[in-house]
Amino acid sequence: MKAFSKFRAGAITAVAIAALVGTSVLPANAGQVDFRKPVPGSGKGITIGFIGLADSIGFGKDVHDSIAREAKAAGAKLVFCDSKLDAATALNCAKTFKLKHVQGYLNFQPVSSASAAICKAGPQVPVISIDIEQDPCQAAFMGADNSYAGQVSGIALGNYFKKNFNCQFDSFISLEDYGVGLVNEARMGGYRSGFESVCGAGSIGDKLIKIDAGRLEPALAKMKDALTTLPNAHHIIVVAINDEGIQGAFSAAKAVGRAGDIYAAGQGASASAWCDIKNTPNWIADTAYFPERYGEIGVPYLLDLIKGKKVPFHLNIKHVAINAGNLFTIFPAAKSKCA
């Protein structure tokens, strides 16, 4: 247990929600798949597991609810264990799965450097990782096409700044999560490549400021500090590895009377962020991950693996760009919630 103490702190201070891997070497759209409902009865007599991210987080709860719903529809028994953003807890989840004879499991634990130990502790059965790679036991990865997901919002930001400010800006603040490794590099690099595809190669340059603050609380604290170093900046781009980072950034800016100085893009577009996207004028773009439908990929493909069927390694979400203008079209349920 002691070996995981260093992971716990890193996980709690910075976790990627919603959704994650695919490296920058993959072409855009690589491995994207359609959502599909599991066939009723296809999971009869099968026990599957799910190590959740954290039900205390909107994105994590949406994913959990979706997987539970689709497992029930398939007739499978689901054993759920909440990692609570903690590698040691996830390790115990894997041990529990072995005791409960889980025949395959989905893993959304957030500390990529702990994955090998967790794989070893769990049952030697098919594993699908969700949004964060779980080497060496993952048979497939499902979730974000990270480079492409970053590019989606990066291009939207570039188009906005080209139209309104001739691509001129003061700083490009990147709220990252170093703890998730390749996911962070792919997604945050995607933002930059997307923006520069519109505003020109090298246009970010030395204006880039990287901060390890991918969650609400650290983003709130560290954005206040960042803004004090930029007292005369009124066109600050802020991107984050998830929507919590952007929510924290706007809260920090509002607290110091500078909400109009930042222009932001996030990742996830989970229900917990819908109203902020709709009602925050400078929330320019967001990349939708559809966490409320993750079970429509994870459950049927895991059942396929358990039955010995071949499954593509990359099971990536088809991301789309969201803003205040198209939110209700993409997510009709947001209309009653945010109108």
Q: Which residues pair with 283 in a beta bridge?
A: 264
Q: How far apart are CA 180 and CA 176, in angstroms?
A: 9
Asked if 274 contacts 327 with a C-beta cutoff of 8 angstroms, the reply is: yes
Structure confidence at residue 57 (pLDDT)? 87
Determine how many CB atoms are found less than 10 A away from the CB of residue 167. 17
Reference 248, options 173, 167, 193; nearest CA is 173
Reference 174, options 146, 150, 144; nearest CA is 150
Residue 204 per-residue DSSP state: S
**Tens digits of residue pLDDT in 150-171:** 999 999 999 999 999 999 999 9
Structure confidence at residue 29 (pLDDT)? 55
Cα distances from 62 to residues 57, 69, 248, 292, in angstroms, run: 9, 11, 20, 5
- Taking the C-alpha atoms of 314, 315, 320 and 324 in order, what is their torsion angle to the nearest 10 degrees? -120
Residue ranges and CATH numbers for the domains of the chain are 2-144+291-318 (3.40.50.2300), 146-290+323-338 (3.40.50.2300)
Q: Which two tokens stand for residue 300?
A: 């049927």
Q: How far apart are CA 145 and CA 151, in angstroms?
A: 10
**Tens digits of residue pLDDT in 224-256:** 999 999 999 999 999 999 999 999 999 999 999
Phi and psi dihedrals of 126, rounded to 5? -60, 135
Asked if 77 contacts 302 with a C-beta cutoff of 8 angstroms, the reply is: no
Residue 2 per-residue DSSP state: G
Q: How far apart are CA 131 and CA 183, in angstroms?
A: 8
Backbone CA torsion sign across 155, 189, 245, 329:
positive
Q: Which two tokens stand for residue 320?
A: 């789309």
Q: How far apart are CA 250 and CA 47, in angstroms?
A: 43
Query: What is the separation, in whole angstroms, between the first and last Cα of the chain?
Result: 48
**Strand residues in the chain grouped as ranges (E):** 47-52, 77-82, 105-107, 127-130, 138-143, 171-176, 208-212, 236-240, 262-268, 283-288, 314-316, 320-322
Structure confidence at residue 181 (pLDDT)? 82
Q: Which two tokens stand for residue 285?
A: 């773009």
Consecutive 10-residue runs of the chain (339 residues): their mean pLDDT? 34 32 39 94 98 93 97 98 97 98 97 95 98 94 92 97 98 93 92 98 98 92 97 98 95 96 95 95 96 96 98 94 96 91
Phi and psi dihedrals of 183, rounded to 5? -55, -50
Dump the DSSP string for 175-204: EE-GGGTHHHHHHHHHHHHHHHHHH-TTSS
Structure confidence at residue 9 (pLDDT)? 33
Structure confidence at residue 128 (pLDDT)? 98
Upstream peptide bond of 231 is cis (omega within 30 degrees of 0): no
Q: Which two tokens stand for residue 234?
A: 């009124």
Cα distances from 21 to residues 67, 177, 255, 259, 332, in angstroms, run: 19, 13, 34, 31, 28
Q: How far apart are CA 81 and CA 48, in angstroms?
A: 11
Q: In what helix (H) or strand (E) does residue 21 lie, and over which residues does it extend?
A: none
Structure confidence at residue 260 (pLDDT)? 97
Which three-class secondary structure state does DSSP give residue 144? coil
